Amino acid sequence: DAGVIQSPRHEVTEMGQEVTLRCKPISGHDYLFWYRQTMMRGLELLIYFNNNVPIDDSGMPEDRFSAKMPNASFSTLKIQPSEPRDSAVYFCASSYNPGQGGSDTQYFGPGTRLTVL
């Protein structure tokens, strides 16, 4: 089984532009998480979905950030407009509900390295 897939792997954009990051979770996983990692703040949970429904978006830094999960195999994280302080590595991760025989082990994608100039 392919792991979590993220695209693009690298993104360089200019301040003010819209950025869309994409994630395909592991098939059968019902939890999907978006994280941001920086040297200053470490790994921060931005938002997570359960069965395609956003459960907690309290980690989303501000209204410029939005996330969607239109179906079980696809999610997007959008930043509009982007700012230089958004530069970071954005990870998507998925897991399978332990209550249904899974595990709360998180499986991470390779990340998208975003640079906003």
| Residues of the shown chain interacting with another protein in the complex, contacts defined by CB under 8 A | 31, 35, 42-43, 45, 48, 56, 91, 95, 97-98, 104-106, 108-111
DSSP 98: G
CB-based contacts of 12, cutoff 8 Å, min separation 6: 115, 117
Q: Which is nearer to another protein, 65 or 96 (CB)?
A: 96
- At its nearest, how many Å lie between another protein and the CB of residue 63? 23
- At its nearest, how many Å lie between another protein and the CB of residue 82? 21
- At its nearest, how many Å lie between another protein and the CB of residue 78? 21
Of 22, 29, 10, 4, the C-alpha closest to 93 is 4
How long a stretch of residues is the chain?
117
